[in-house]
Chains A and B, each alone.
Chain A
Amino acid sequence: MFVAMLRAQWVWTRAIMLFFLAAGFALPVLSVPMSARFGIGWISANGYVEVGGMIGLLVAITVCLAAVALVVQNWSVDDRGRHVYALSLPIARRRYLLYRLGGGFLLLGMLAVAVWLGGAVAAGLLELPESLHAYPASLALRALMAAWLVHAIGFLVRFGAGQRARGVVFGALILLFLFVLLPAETLPAPLTWLSLASRALVLPGGPFGILVSPWSFIDV
């Protein structure tokens, strides 16, 4: 049953997945000639570190977008078919959702593999100084965990919440993001605690810690 559902999920989302798989592979590779073209990076070792950070940021954006796109596309197919497919299957709803989630996680795992392969190719193209190394596996692992987290959030919002709750959660996420950016001292006193609570969400033990810790491809 799981394999059949995975196959169906792949058919529904393959256009999106192929795009993001190509992007995940190409970003690390293309950044090498692009940064050489614009003169970033190859004068000093510091430049390599900056390029590595740029690659990491682009990969972070790509995997988060891929996770959200997968959720939206996946569940919109159910909406369009008025859940006939889901209701016609001889399994409980919870198991059905679990299979769908597992399929999503597997597809995002493919994306992490694409990032790792692209990073490995980029590491081969770069002539790094002996003090620096490329870490495609670290980047791919970070991409995998971030993609799963964002996919789980998207799944919860899309499937576990009603329409009003979705709007509230979306607005709250935007506000929390703004509060993280704004210094706490600039906010009126009653809102300072909101800023502090937002920062707690991005600490290493918080839900978004994986997204804000350094995304980079090149390090000591």
Chain B
Amino acid sequence: MSRTMRISALALRTLVLVVAVAGRSHAAARGVQRPDTARRHAVMATRDDSPAARARRLQQLDHRRRALDSTGKRERTVATSHWFTDTVQAGLFRIATTRRLREGVRRAATALSRELRPSLDATIVDSLRRHLIHVRPLLPEEGRSFGPDRLVVWDEVPYGLYGPAGGEAFLPRDDLRLQLTAIVGAITNRTMDDAMRTWLFNVSVVTVAPPATVETRARMDIATAGSFAARRCVVGDLAACARVLSLRGRPADPAHAWYAPEDYRDLASRLRLAPPDGDEAPRLQRRCLTGDAAACSTLIKRLGPDRLPAPTLEAPRLVLLHEALRLGGDGAITRLRASTGDIGTRLSAAAGVEEDSLLSSWRRRVISQRGARIRPTGEVALATIGWTLLLTGLGLRRTRRCD
């Protein structure tokens, strides 16, 4: 027998032995049932499985979960309460933090306050100064889950950076400024009236320039809205822009104010039907999506005006709000708060210009930059050419070999 065959035979015998031993121990374990397993099986066999009993069990589990959550929260609060030794008043913010984080937090908060202060009014500033924000480092067990280099920012304002719930946000150090900005936005939102909050879909209102991603999203939202009014807005119809942005409130007949019959198929593809819509609605929707225009019209009529979504979400409206505040300069947000009437009237009062001028300015900012998203910018082009020349130069340098 060759050496290879001998080794293979030995490996096979070892494998068979391991499998046999494992099988015997498994059979032994199964054969002797543990007492608590037997009891659990007996309990499960006699458990009441009615809906009422299931609901009671779910409720008990929920009570236990809440009790555990609040216990955990209390323990964490006790563990961390001794940390917040320093309360920093930095610009607009009042922040309780640790001695180690104090300077970094003060720097970030002061720089942000300098940037935001000109666009805020006394109402927002007072609210901010009354609001205490906690910033602490991670507990050891938190560091194991979230990574080493993070902070915990805790406040009770909903709509922070990391979601709609208040409470703790675990974020990288570099995101502290973003979180503080989000808190300012949430507080600004709370100081607004219901009409303005509803118009903005209840998102945070940040009075400084929205990031480039919001402007890009606004541009794409308007251009791809699948709405007759949005298409008219893109080519320059300011009245259509006012309709798309709901400056006069939601129209009484959105099926005609926002959409044309050629948009109904796209609209139908976006609709989420519910049981109150009736049994006929899903069939009409399916026929509509295959191209049956009559089915589309019937479906839209049947659903009614309240079920039709607005052509765009908050991004174009945020940009319009910021444009109004930018044009209005100092005191714009105060004028916005104090003014009455529909949203369009209030925004033009804040901006200090006519509504048409405001919409033209907004249109120039959002729509007129054609192809901005995909055209290579000067920075990218120069960097690419520079790197190409550098790499070419490196490749041309003298070497000793030809390979």
**A94 B373 Cβ-Cβ under 8 A:** no
> A138 at the A/B interface (Cβ < 8 Å)?
yes
Partner of B380, one of A148, A159, A192, A210: A210
B402 contacts across to A, CB distance below 8 A: 83, 86-87
> B322 at the A/B interface (Cβ < 8 Å)?
no
Contact digits for B223-239, partner A, Cβ 8 Å, 1 yes 0 no: 11110001100110000
Are A43 and B265 also in contact (CB < 8 A) when A129-B231, A138-B371, A220-B220 are? yes
Partner of A216, one of B146, B149, B373, B397: B373
Stretch at the interface among B6-14, B151-159, B386-394: B386-394
Are A219 and B374 also in contact (CB < 8 A) when A45-B225, A83-B402, A209-B383 are? yes
**B265 A204 Cβ-Cβ under 8 A:** no
Number of interface residues, chain B, beta carbon within 8 A: 49
Stretch at the interface among A9-17, A109-117, A149-157, A173-181: A149-157
Contact digits for B360-372, partner A, Cβ 8 Å, 1 yes 0 no: 0000000101111
The residue in chain B whose Cβ has the minimal distance to the Cβ of A135 is B371
**A97 B384 Cβ-Cβ under 8 A:** no
Are A160 and B399 also in contact (CB < 8 A) when A43-B265, A192-B149, A220-B373 are? yes
A130 contacts across to B, CB distance below 8 A: 231, 234-235
A209 contacts across to B, CB distance below 8 A: 380, 383-384
The number of inter-chain residue pairs (CB within 8 angstroms) is: 147
**B391 A156 Cβ-Cβ under 8 A:** yes
**B374 A149 Cβ-Cβ under 8 A:** no
**B384 A219 Cβ-Cβ under 8 A:** no
**A133 B371 Cβ-Cβ under 8 A:** yes
**A204 B380 Cβ-Cβ under 8 A:** yes
Interface size class of A (residues with CB under 8 A): 35 or more
A195 to chain B, nearest CB (A): 11
> B115 at the A/B interface (Cβ < 8 Å)?
no
**B377 A204 Cβ-Cβ under 8 A:** yes
**A138 B395 Cβ-Cβ under 8 A:** no
- The complex places the Cα of A204 from the Cα of B380 at a distance, in Å, of 5
- Show 26 A/B contacts (Cβ-Cβ < 8 Å), sorted by A: A44-B226, A45-B266, A49-B220, A49-B224, A83-B402, A94-B396, A94-B398, A129-B231, A130-B231, A130-B235, A131-B231, A131-B235, A138-B374, A145-B384, A149-B387, A152-B387, A160-B394, A162-B399, A163-B403, A204-B377, A205-B379, A207-B387, A213-B377, A216-B373, A219-B373, A220-B220
